[in-house]
């Protein structure tokens, strides 16, 4: 009897782990509050970042994220995904219309900026929680960075002080892999020289 119970529990746990099996399996909200499936990014490499508008790292990181996105998104195999969060030092006090106005006017960003979320604690957004659980890297400040491959799994994570320049090589290599795995594109669709990208930044 005990063996049957153990097997039953194991089956339940296995089935439970299948739900939201990767980052792209989740839904989030866009800046207007509309539900958006992250499945639209499957096949792409994404750099997911918890952002803030009033942080000492805001200007430099946003500028670098914009340049990285502009360079590597050519060929549609890479995207930065930004999630505003006010949990660290209350440094994202703006509402969503104000956030969008700020990042557009100050940095001319073209990558997606989603609805404000919590990234830690009991009420952490499920999609972001997936990133922290899979990477075992939990943010303790703004601008943590999670590199997600084309299958929706975290392949690297970095803290606030890690600059975009320091993660270029990993981003480029994963973007190349995503391009290479596509039957419709060739590897040449993505900038492949990490040093060249770093020079642009």
Of 55, 65, 94, 148, the active-site residue reads 55
Q: Is 85 marked active-site?
A: no
Mean pLDDT for the chain?
84
Q: How far is residue 34's CA from residue 30's CA, in Å, rounded to a whole number?
A: 5
The four Cα atoms 128, 132, 137, 143 give a dihedral, to 10 degrees, of 0
pTM for the structure as a whole: 0.81
Label residue 57 exposed, middle or buried (CB < 10 Å: 0-12, 13-18, 19+): middle
CATH code for the structural domain at 20-200: 3.40.30.10
In this predicted model, which residue has the larger pLDDT, 193 or 151?
151
How confident is the model at residue 189, as a pLDDT?
36
Which residues partner with 27 through β-bridges? 37
Please state whether 152 falls in left (phi above 0), alpha (psi between -120 and 50) or beta.
Answer: left
In this predicted model, which residue has the larger pLDDT, 135 or 4?
135
Expressed in percent and rounded to 5, the helix, strand and coil fractions of the chain are 45, 15, 40
pLDDT tens column, 104-153: 999 999 999 999 999 999 999 999 999 999 999 999 999 999 999 999 99
How confident is the model at residue 134, as a pLDDT?
97
Domain boundaries, the chain: 20-200
Q: Tell me: pLDDT of 18 over 50.
A: no
Answer yes or no: are the C-beta atoms of 62 and 93 closer than 8 Å: no
Q: How far is residue 82's CA from residue 116's CA, in Å, rounded to a whole number?
A: 9
Q: Which helix (H) or strand (E) holds 147?
A: strand 145-148
How confident is the model at residue 177, as a pLDDT?
76
In this predicted model, which residue has the larger pLDDT, 62 or 177?
62
Q: How far is residue 107's CA from residue 100's CA, in Å, rounded to a whole number?
A: 10
Q: What is the DSSP letter of 16?
A: H
- b/e per residue 143-157 (b: at least 16 CB within 10 A): bbbbbbbbebbbbbb
């Amino acid at each position: 009897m005990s063996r049957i119970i153990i097997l039953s529990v194991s089956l339940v746990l296995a089935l439970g782990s299948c739900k939201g099996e990767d980052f792209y399996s989740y839904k989030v909200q866009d800046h207007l509050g509309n539900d958006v499936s992250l499945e639209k990014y499957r096949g792409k490499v994404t750099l997911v970042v918890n952002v803030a508008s009033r942080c000492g790292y805001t200007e430099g990181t946003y500028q670098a994220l914009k340049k990285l996105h502009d360079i590597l998104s050519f060929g549609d195999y890479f995207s930065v995904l930004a999630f505003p969060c006010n949990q660290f030092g209350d440094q994202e006090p703006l509402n969503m219309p104000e956030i969008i106005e700020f990042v557009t006017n100050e940095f001319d960003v073209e990558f997606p900026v989603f609805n404000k979320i919590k990234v830690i604690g009991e009420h952490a957004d499920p999609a972001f929680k997936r990133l922290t659980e899979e990477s075992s890297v939990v943010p303790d400040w703004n601008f943590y960075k999670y590199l997600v491959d084309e299958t929706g799994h975290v392949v690297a994570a970095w803290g606030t002080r890690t600059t975009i320049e320091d993660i270029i090589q990993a981003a480029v290599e994963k973007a190349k892999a995503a391009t290479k795995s596509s039957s419709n594109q060739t590897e040449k669709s993505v900038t492949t020289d990490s040093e060249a990208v770093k020079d642009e930044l």
